[in-house]
Amino acid sequence: MSLPLSLALYRLGTAALEPLAALLLKRRAAKGKEDPTRLNERLARPTAPRPDGRLVWMHGASVGESLSILPLVERLRAERPKVSLLVTSGTVTSARLLATRLPPGVIHQYAPVDTPGGARRFIAHWRPDLAVFVESELWPNLLLAAKATGTRLALVSAKLSDKSYDRWRAKPFAAHQLFSGFDLILAQDSRAAERFASLGGTVTGEADLKFGSAPLPVDPAELSRLKAQLADRSLLLAASTHPGEDEIVLDAVAGLPDRPRLVMVPRHVERGPAIAEAARARGLTVSLRSLDPQATTPVMVADTLGELGLWFRLADLALVAGSLVPGIGGHNPLEPARLSCPIVSGPHVENWLTAYAELSAVDGVTLADASVLGERLAAALADPAAGRSQAERAGAFVAARDAEARAGLTRIIELVP
């Protein structure tokens, strides 16, 4: 099969870089951006054998995309129990979270670097019957290698940023070859559907896999214990904070007249000590949950993985971070909505723009930039009845969209014999 010029050049360029891949990965590992014990997986040298029988491969780039795969994993296990499941992701944090959330028997590997040789080795080893890609994580060598071996391809929660769309429009023959190769495309929304159709893809319908998830899990014993211990004052949760946001939150809370207990959950748990130091610099008493899980200080840094379900259930109000400073794009507001937790967010929510717009339309979320954050938090905490009403509206909206997403999962499962 002849390739369009841009794809042929991409293949040549990535082939030329392949001898340097190991060195580049080691450098990234030294900076904490790769798992040094699993670099072979990134070089398409799998560390697990392929099970016999049919296999479905699902790929999500980072934390949000990877976790959105979980409902599909559960459905496949229930409805295709003899099919083996492989999940790949590209970041250290996503791998850690998937280790706690994937059911027993589901294989996790790091996605290989997209070189021609690596793609061939990966596909030759795993021989997937179906490959499911989430959102816009499209690697040409892997896609072409999978298609060449007869793997069926699905692109779900499909979306393209303005920049990506313009880039693909400038390469119409390459775009057509890649997007027309998908057996199923489920777009995230109508705008995404139009974009993929214009690039040569056949869009079957709309489904956003960020909807359809079950509520975040919780340890019932720990929930019961903390409910009793933290009942003395209202609890404000700052969920998934990034550098630059911690200071905004701490300053906003320090200025509240009736100061709530503040639980800060950093997006990357290794930042826990830095957040604690920032709190101490403001005269606040703080504890690190990783060091003292029994502590109930005025500021608690929950630098532990997999406990957001616990804190959303305990919180009187959740600030969904990643949204107070530009360049991050916001985090998932659906998780607190499913757990009846009132939501405040900053204005920078590009990654979740549709969800936030729809939540705002039903008055299910409060938006506030840094300049008015303290004021909005104070108002929300002072009127818990209004917060509960807001949370009910948000929960009803998410429940309806979750049902639509589950219907989309059925279309994917139909691709598996």
The CATH number for 337's domain is 3.40.50.2000
Beta bridge partners of 177: none
At 189-219, the pLDDT tens digits run 889 999 999 999 999 988 888 788 889 999 9
Amino acid type, 351: N
- Cα–Cα distance between 312 and 336 in angstroms, integer? 6
Alpha helices in 170-265 (DSSP H): 172-179, 190-198, 220-229, 245-254
Task: Work out the average pLDDT over 213-233.
Answer: 94
The residues, ordered by sequence, that sit 6+ positions from 233 with a Cβ below 8 Å of its Cβ are 260, 261
Verify that 189 and 250 share a domain, yes or no. no
- Cα–Cα distance between 378 and 401 in angstroms, integer? 30
Domain end call among 149, 177, 209: 209
Contact (Cβ atoms closer than 8 angstroms) between residue 331 and residue 352: yes
Residue 358: C-alpha distances to residues 50, 333, 335, 365, 396 (Å) = 42, 11, 15, 10, 12
Verify that 189 and 224 share a domain, yes or no. no
- Cα–Cα distance between 362 and 138 in angstroms, integer? 34
Sign of CA dihedral 355, 395, 309, 240: positive
At 153-171, the pLDDT tens digits run 999 999 998 999 999 999 9
Any domain includes 416? no
At 259-308, the pLDDT tens digits run 999 999 999 999 999 999 999 999 999 999 999 999 999 999 999 999 99
Here the tokens at position 341 are 């937790």
pLDDT reported for residue 352? 86
Asked if the model's pLDDT at residue 2 lies above 90, the reply is no
- Cα–Cα distance between 385 and 288 in angstroms, integer? 31
Beta bridge partners of 186: 156, 205
Verify that 45 and 173 share a domain, yes or no. yes
Task: Work out the average pLDDT over 71-100.
Answer: 93
Angle at 130 between CA 128 and CA 135, to 5 degrees: 115
Contact (Cβ atoms closer than 8 angstroms) between residue 305 and residue 289: no
pLDDT reported for residue 1? 59
Here the tokens at position 133 are 């890609």
Any domain includes 124? yes
Any domain includes 414? no
CATH of the domain at 117: 3.40.50.11720
Burial of 20 (0-12, 13-18, 19+ CB in 10 A): exposed
Contact (Cβ atoms closer than 8 angstroms) between residue 322 and residue 242: yes
Asked if the model's pLDDT at residue 96 lies above 70, the reply is yes
| Residue located via tokens 């070089």 | 43
Verify that 178 and 249 share a domain, yes or no. no
- Cα–Cα distance between 54 and 416 in angstroms, integer? 9
- Cα–Cα distance between 46 and 41 in angstroms, integer? 5
Verify that 200 and 250 share a domain, yes or no. no
Full domain range(s) for residue 256: 220-401
Contact (Cβ atoms closer than 8 angstroms) between residue 88 and residue 58: yes
Verify that 79 and 43 share a domain, yes or no. yes
Annotation marks residue 335 as catalytic = no
Beta strand pairing call for 235-241 and 317-320:
parallel
At 107-149, the pLDDT tens digits run 999 999 999 999 999 999 999 999 999 988 789 999 999 999 9
At 332-371, the pLDDT tens digits run 999 999 999 999 999 999 878 888 999 999 999 999 999 9
Verify that 190 and 252 share a domain, yes or no. no
pLDDT reported for residue 353? 83
Any domain includes 415? no
Domain end call among 174, 209, 244: 209
**Considering only CA atoms, which of 106, 99, 70 is closest in space to residue 85?**
106
Residue 183 confidence class, pLDDT cut points 50, 70, 90: very high
Residue 66 confidence class, pLDDT cut points 50, 70, 90: confident
Catalytic residue among 34, 41, 65, 307: 65
Verify that 189 and 239 share a domain, yes or no. no
Any domain includes 82? yes
Q: What percent of the chain has pLDDT over 70?
A: 100
Verify that 225 and 195 share a domain, yes or no. no
pLDDT reported for residue 284? 94
**Considering only CA atoms, which of 241, 218, 268, 210 is closest in space to residue 101?**
218
Q: Provide the domain count of the chain.
A: 2
- Cα–Cα distance between 77 and 11 in angstroms, integer? 36
Q: What percent of the chain has pLDDT over 90?
A: 83
Verify that 204 and 307 share a domain, yes or no. no
Any domain includes 411? no
Q: Which helix (H) or strand (E) holds 54?
A: none
What is the chain's Cα-based Rg? Answer: 22
Burial 86-104 (b: 16+ CB within 10 A, else e): bbbbbbbbbbbbbeebbee
Any domain includes 363? yes
Burial of 76 (0-12, 13-18, 19+ CB in 10 A): buried
pLDDT reported for residue 351? 79
Domain end call among 209, 233, 260: 209
Beta bridge partners of 300: 263, 287
Verify that 192 and 260 share a domain, yes or no. no
Verify that 109 and 50 share a domain, yes or no. yes
At 34-62, the pLDDT tens digits run 999 999 999 999 999 999 999 999 999 88
Any domain includes 412? no
Q: How many Å separate Cα 129 from the centre of its chain?
A: 25
